[in-house]
Structure 1
Amino acid sequence: MKHGPDIARIASLIGDPARANILTALMSGKALTAGELATEAGVSASTASSHLARLVDGGLVKEARQGRHKYFALAGDEVAQVLEALMGFAAGHGHLRTRTGPKDAQLRAARVCYNHLAGTRGIQLYDSLLARNFMVLDADTPRLTEAGERFVRELGVDFDQLVKSRAPLCRTCLDWSARRPHLAGSLGRALLKRFEEAGWAHRVRDTRIVRFSTDGLRRFNHAFPVSPDSRA
């Protein structure tokens, strides 16, 4: 008898096309109803409910009631990281959806990865923090420096509140579209929230797309220059 983690059970939960579509829809970080997820998965409401019950039982999805409605969301950051890594692996080996369009380019430019910024803009943010020593890698784990702390405070992030969280401050997440790291963790979440609060960007309804305004993109590029010699 074999002992250890049962990856086959988790793989079977993710591997079903309808459940994969449900999980991908929840990568937006937004809680959705069973009806909304049925539409995303292309299945009936009863079938979606059956899939959701299995995902909840498997620890991939959590449910919550609000009034008469029941909402579903990913169980946490760990699930989102697994899904993003699988997306990167699939993209890297040519396993892509055949139907592409304008939204595909926008998703690659900037999107929500559960609760933080991903895509080209997310990679730019990560690379810029490293290039200016606002963040360093300790055994491949990102760590914010004192200069980085001052920088995020200047951006308007409530750093004192941030460090009270039990969640890791900085984590890397492998970007599926470029197969390069972007910033996750509570800091990644706080930065995306700050961009939205400042009016630099907004999430496009019913998608994972993050759209920067012209002025917001200018401010973002100034704050996170791609040149190692640049300064915010």
Structure 2
Amino acid sequence: MSLTRKQYDEHPDGGLEQAMSAVAAALADPSRVSMLCALMDGRAWTATELSVVADIAPSTASGHLTKLLGSGLIRCLSQGRHRYYSLANREIAGLIENLMGVSMRAQPARASSTPLRLRHARTCYDHLAGEVAVGVYAFMVEAQWLTTDGNTLTPEGREQLLGLGVKLNPRPRRKACCPCLDWSERRYHLGGDAGAALLALFLEKRWLSQAPGYRELTVTERGRTALQQLFRIDFTYC
């Protein structure tokens, strides 16, 4: 049963619509978007660092951060005299990643303009994204480590990941694993608790390296060998 305009007006709720509008308004500024994209590396940043990323004055950055805080997109952490800003939660990271994908699709069809260093391997908040991540996900589905929908680790997959040293949480507070649409590759990479644990292992084993403050990841020589052997990643294109 659908509501008529009159019935809708007689039951004005509007809370959800207003909240959605507030989030959209917070995203409707290139400087604020630059800050949010920087926070996608999973770290907490100072206002000064974010002002440099957005190429704006610290005083201007303060106003933008207030707007992002008010919309619930970020949170502020105080430590001594310092204040640090980070994304509010993983759901916000997913929102930004999805928005990147929608924005890319809205552009006229053409060769990808994504910087190669980001397209190859990068963080998607707390898990791996980019060409390498898409390759790992495709292998896991083909090897039946994942169900075809990507939402569940198979018994074989769980055993294989544990054998590699991946520290899977037996009682994750979020999805154990899930497919995450990669905005540059337009295919899926692994998200959820398993995706985060897999990235943590790659960094721990130094198969990947990351410069503080940047989303891009570098595949080390050790990593190229391991990822070729374990996940059949083809590095001949780079």
Deviation at 1:226, TM superposition (A): 5.5
Q: Does 1:145 align with 2:154?
A: yes
Alignment equivalent of 1:209, drawn from 210, 216, 231: 216
Gaps of 5+ in 1: 228-232
Total equivalences in the alignment: 218
Paired AA for residue 50 in structure 1: G
**1:142 match: secondary structure:** coil
Q: Which residue in 1 is equivalent to 2:126? A: 115
1:221 deviates by: 2.1
Q: 2:167 maps to which residue?
A: 158
Aligned pairs for 1:189-204 within 5 A: 189-204=196-211
- Structure (1 or 2) with the greater strand fraction: 1
Letter matched to residue 67 of structure 1? G
Whole-Å separation in 2 of the counterparts to 1:173 and 1:46: 36
Q: How does 1:71-90 map to 2 (within 5 A)?
A: 71-90=84-103
> Are the equivalent residues in 2 in contact too, given 1:127–1:226 (CA < 8 A)?
no
Q: Does 1:105 align with 2:112?
A: no
RMSD: 2.0
Q: CA deviation at 1:67?
A: 2.1
Deviations 1:118-148 (A, max 9, x none): 00011111111111110004xx451001001
Code of the residue aligned with 1:153 in structure 2: it is: L
1:44 equivalenced with 2:51 (yes/no)? no
- Consecutive unaligned residues in structure 2, runs of 5 or more: 1-8
| Distance change (3 Å), C-alpha of 1:54 and 1:65 | same
Cross-structure match for 1:185 = 192
Question: Could you tell me whether the CA contact under 8 Å between 1:134 and 1:148 is conserved in 2?
Answer: yes
3-state DSSP of counterpart to 2:77:
strand
1:94 CA displacement:
2.0
What percentage of aligned pairs have identical amino acids?
36
Q: In the alignment, residue 197 of structure 1 is paired with which amino acid?
A: E
Deviation by residue 1:208-228 (Cα, 9 ceiling, x = unmatched) = 11101112112012221269x
Query: Which protein shows a greater Rg?
Result: 2
**Cross-structure match for 2:30:** 17
State the Cα distance separating 1:202 from its structure 2 match: 1.0
C-alpha distance in structure 2 between counterparts of 1:14 and 1:222, whole Å? 42
**Per-residue CA distance 1:26-67 (angstroms, 9 max, x = gap):** 011111001000111111112111111111121110111122
Task: State TM-score, norm by structure 1.
Answer: 0.88
SS at match of 1:70: strand
